[in-house]
Amino acid sequence: MKTQSMSKMLLVSTALLLSLISCKKEEIVPEKTNQEFYACHLTNDWDEASVKTHLLGTWNWKHKVCPFNPNDVPTDTEHSGLSAEFKSDNTLTILQDGNPVLTTNWEVIQTETNILSDPARSYQIKTDLFVSQLFGVILICEDEVLFTSSYVDGCDNRFEKQ
């Protein structure tokens, strides 16, 4: 009986060890800080046309951070399933889990803010209907866009290109 129990323990231990050995380590790439995102954004010479061109397509919401509101903790689930589809005809469709929930018109506008050292390089989108997740200065880095309003005590929403 003791031998049978030890055999079972050995079998379970071996199975556990094999499963741990066979697991691949997934490399976790840390997300860019706002400062790194800003530096990446400045590697391009943006204007209204290039910002619009880059925004065309569908963007999936990743997360929101409100650094100046201690009661609002960073979240990756608050707007889970939300996406924004920017079309070349200046229509914007907000989707929730693939279903349209709002359609409005949009345009890229130049803004005067202190977030960027050269205000002529600051851009936002103007929509006919307010979309809180798209409010703020646009910072673009590769396949991500950050709508940042933390510079006025608001929130920053990060999206990833689909």
In a domain, 53, yes or no: yes
Q: Supply the pLDDT for residue 88.
A: 98
Mean pLDDT in residue range 133-162: 93
In a domain, 16, yes or no: no
- In whole angstroms, what is the distance from residue 122 CA to residue 124 CA? 7
Per-chain mean pLDDT for the chain: 83
- In whole angstroms, what is the distance from residue 128 CA to residue 99 CA? 20
Q: Which domain holds residue 123?
A: 34-161
pLDDT for 39-48, tens place per residue?
899 899 899 9
User: How far from 135 is each of 20, 23, 25, 44, 66, CA to CA, in Å?
Assistant: 45, 42, 37, 21, 13
In a domain, 96, yes or no: yes
How many domains does one find in the chain?
Answer: 1
In a domain, 70, yes or no: yes
CATH number at residue 85: 2.40.128
In a domain, 91, yes or no: yes
Q: Supply the pLDDT for residue 18.
A: 47
Q: How many CB atoms lie within 10 A of CB 157?
A: 26
In a domain, 77, yes or no: yes
* Higher pLDDT, residue 115 or 136: 136
In a domain, 6, yes or no: no
The answer, yes or no, to whether residue 12 has pLDDT greater than 90, is: no
In a domain, 14, yes or no: no
- In whole angstroms, what is the distance from residue 159 CA to residue 24 CA? 28
Kindly report the CA angle at 98 between 26 and 102, in degrees rounded to 5?
130
Confidence band, pLDDT 50/70/90 cuts, at residue 78: confident
pLDDT for 28-76, tens place per residue?
667 888 889 888 998 998 999 999 999 999 999 998 888 877 666 666 6
- In whole angstroms, what is the distance from residue 60 CA to residue 102 CA? 15
